Each structure stands twice: as C-alpha cells, then as structure tokens.
Structure 1
Amino acid sequence: MSVRIAAAATCLVLGLAAPLHAQDAITYDFEGSFDDATFAVENAIVNQGLVIDSVSHVGDMLARTGEDVGSAQELFTGADIFQFCSAVVSREVMEADPLNVVHCPYSIAVTERDGAVTILHRSYPDGAMQQVEDLLSTIVAEAGGS
C-alpha cells in the first residue's frame, strides 16, 4: 500500500480531514441572527436532497471547556458545523481520484462573532473537487449568504 493511500485510509478511519488554513475558507456574510442562519443552512442542505449526518456544536463545546483548558477568551457567540455528503457528487470526485475520500464528509459552518454572522466552507483543490465547492456555494447562496 502506498504511503498516500495509507495516510488517506488512516484519516478516514480516524475521522480526520485534510488540514484547513484560514486562507482555505470561503466566507459569506449573513444578514440575520445566528439561529436564522443555521435554520437556513439546514433547509438549504435538505432542499438539495441531502441528509445531514451530524451537527457539531463547536461554539457550545468551546464555551463549556474554555476554563478547563485555561482560557477565558470567548471565540464565538455561536458556532455550528453541518456535515453531510452527496452520493452523486462524491462518486464523481472519487472516481476522478479515490484519494478525494479525505474530503468527505463535506461541511458548512455558521458562526457568530461580535454580532456578525458568517457562513463558511472549505475551498477545495482545482479539478474534480470544484464540483463539491460549487455544491457548497449553491447551498450557501440558497441559505442567504452573500
């Protein structure tokens, strides 16, 4: 087994995705409340015929554990991450390159900081993964991100 395939398999088993850097995030402003944004994103995902695998309440976790890790800094007023996959798009991008499995599941985050609500998702590599980026951009547009 090649090192690249072994690394991809390890990431898949451990539930890890490719690392994300700030410059890899595509952000959209949302005019409305955090709750309105999460509701809109959830509906937009479902409207695409997709099933949400999980919603990670990262903001709640960070608020709950801050003191335990020695930090009093409030990072977000709210932060949720919706994870889901598309059988059609996933098959296409993985047939183009099976190592694209490391990008699945796909996610859209909604955050609130200092009263500003933002919807964001990863920027994916050029090539087949642009189909995923296009899907995510379509979902965010339907949710009202601008």
Structure 2
Amino acid sequence: MLRIAALTAVFALPVAADTAPLTYVVDDSFENVTFAVESAIVDAGLVIDHVSHVGAMLERTRADIGSDIPLFTEANIFTFCSATVSRQVMEADISNVQHCPYGIFVYETLDAPGSITVGHRAYDGTMAPVNDLLTGIVRAALAGE
C-alpha cells in the first residue's frame, strides 16, 4: 500500500504547462542554417549526440500512414548536453534529468521556401540556465559567430 501511495504522490506533483518554443526565422538555405547551428554547438564546446532527420522520416512514412500532407521541405533536430549546465540544473532539482539531452530544431516548410525556423523549447525556473545556453547557441548561429 505504501508503494502505491508513493507512486501516486509522484504523479500528482504539478507539471509545468507547455509553453511555445522560442523560435527565430532567417532567410537563408536550410543547409547554411543547419551548418551554422551545428558549428555553434561545437564552438560552444559541446558534442552533438544525435541529429534526428525528422522531416525525412515524416516524408518517408507519409504514404505508409495514409497521409497526403507533406509537412516540411527539411527538418532536423540536434540533440546534445552540457555537463556544466546539466549539473547546475540537476543540483537545483534532480528531476531536471528528464530534459536532457537538449535540442535545437531547424526546419523549412513547403509554403515558405528559404524561410528557415530555428528554435528550442522554452525553459524557466530551475531550467533557466538551459534556456540561456540554447538561446545563446541559436543567436550565435544566426549571427554567424
């Protein structure tokens, strides 16, 4: 009985409401912007764990699931972690482990070719340092730093 009560208490904890991601739009090619994002992540001393080619996957499987709606020209998500920032936010709240790795997405839609959206989840509270890290990387990428 005690175990079930403990699980219920964990699931009853308040969860942060979903917030809109922080996004930036730039007029450039998808290749240039993804290269800039990748470079900014590496220049920040971080290692990219994975590049998820979400746009290609959704297009490849579109007919298989019965959809006739193409979503992206291209869409990628870069995932990575920062030992320094992760330790900081997890020391503040151990459950922040759920947010690691962090991601920056880049996409181009069919209805706006040449208009590339770059962004990341918006974090606050004990995750504010991650928000600052991701925003800094995106701004560096878009500024060509």
Short-chain TM bin: 0.7 to 0.9
How many correspondences in the alignment?
133
| Distance verdict in 2 for CA 1:88–1:108, change over 3 Å | same
Tell me how far 1:46 sits from its aligned partner: 0.3
Structure 2: give runs of 5+ residues left out of the alignment: none
Q: Compare CA radii of gyration and give the structure with the larger one.
A: 2
Contact 1:20/1:122, CA 8 A, preserved across alignment: no
* 1:42-121 correspondence runs (5 A): 42-113=38-109, 114-115=112-113, 116-121=115-120
TM-score for both structures, normalised by structure 2: 0.84
Residue 30 of structure 1, CA deviation = 1.7
Give 1:95 deviation, angstroms.
0.4
Output one character per residue of 1:86-129: Cα deviation in whole Å (capped at 9) or x when no partner.
000000000000000011000000000121210010011x3220
> Residue 3 of structure 1: CA displacement?
3.0
Unaligned runs of 5+ in 1: 8-17
* Structure 2 CA distance for aligned equivalents of residues 120 and 24 of structure 1: 10
The percentage of aligned residue pairs carrying the same residue is 53
Tell me, in whole angstroms, the C-alpha distance in 1 between the residues paired with 2:66 and 2:59.
12
TM-score, normalization by structure 1 = 0.83
Alpha-carbon shift at residue 4 of structure 1 (Å): 8.0
Identify which of 26, 30, 37 aligns with 1:30. Answer: 26
